[in-house]
Structures are given as structure tokens and as C-alpha cells.
Structure 1
Amino acid sequence: MNQKRTWTALLFLDIILFLLALSINIVPLYFLVIFLSFFIYKNGNAVLFKEYDERKKQKYEEYKVVQNAVKETIRKGNILKKKEL
């Protein structure tokens, strides 16, 4: 939990620096914000958004199962055929 708190604090610092850079229009501050944003994205994304990424991955896997089932049904041609008794 300590790691998540650290990355969250860095993210809020980056947001504050971004708003400050917009308000006072200092160009080097823009570059600092960009660098800090890439650093947070590269190293802290897995910590900050772990639960979201897991849910997204699970939904994608469910989507792929349905998509493969639809492809198989279309390939076999069973989509509109009536079963004979």
C-alpha cells in the first residue's frame, strides 16, 4: 500500500505542476511535467491501476470467447438453420 501512496502523491504533484505551468506559462515547467508524466506512466501504472487492468483483461478474455464462438457458428453455417425433428 505504501507504493501506491507514493505513486498517487507523484501523480497529484504532476497535476498541480501542470496546472501551475498552464497558469504562469513557464516553458521548462512544461517539460518537467511531460517527463514526470512519462515516468509515472512507465513505472507507476501497474501499481496505480492494477485492479482496473485486471478487470479490463478479464472482460477482454470473455469477449474473445464470445467472438470465437460466433466465428465458429458462422463458419459451420448453423446460424439460421432450423433443426429438423
Structure 2
Amino acid sequence: MENREKTKWFSLLMIAILLFIVALLTQLYVLNLIVIVLAVYIYKYGNPVLFKEYDAKRKVQYQQYQTVQKAAQESLRQGSIFKK
């Protein structure tokens, strides 16, 4: 089921990209508005389906970054990093 959802959103994304290219080549501004609405729809509802694994990986990396940042701030605050 998840694969079917990914295929649906990926196809919709490719259609949006193709419509964008056609709109640029033909200079149809109405088509650009349709592409913008479609892109916002894909971003809002399709992003969690298309980039689920990527978002999870980024979240873990961000949490690790925050842990390191807090440890660095704490050591700088205590001054233990420069003491021998």
C-alpha cells in the first residue's frame, strides 16, 4: 500500500514538473498558477509520503547535533575545555 502511495505522489510530482516546463516554454501564466497550486498540494500532503525515510534520518541527525551542541555549551560554560 505504501509503495502505491509513493508511486501516486511521485507521478503527480513528475506531472507538476512537466507542466512547469511546458508553462515556461509556452509562456502560459495561467498554467504557472496551476503548477503552483499543485506544488503546494504536493508539498503539504505528498512530502510525508515521498520523503518519509529522509525526514526520519534528518531528525536523528538533528537530535545528535543538538546533543553535541548542548555538551559543547556546557563545557564552555564550565570552562573545562581549556583547563589542563
Fold similarity call, TM over 0.5: yes
Aligned to 2:71: 69
User: 1:13-28, aligned counterparts within 5 Å?
Assistant: 13-28=15-30
* Greater gyration radius: 1
Unaligned runs of 5+ in 1: none
- Residue number in structure 2 paired with 1:46: 48
- Give the unaligned 5+ runs of structure 2: none
Identity across the alignment (%): 45
1:7 and 2:9 are equivalent in the alignment: yes
Number of aligned residue pairs: give it. 82
Q: C-alpha distance in 2, partners of 1:18/1:65? A: 42
Rounded Cα–Cα distance in structure 1 between residues aligned with 2:14 and 2:27: 19
CA RMSD of aligned residues (A): 0.6
Structure 1 outlier segments of 4+, above 4 Å: none
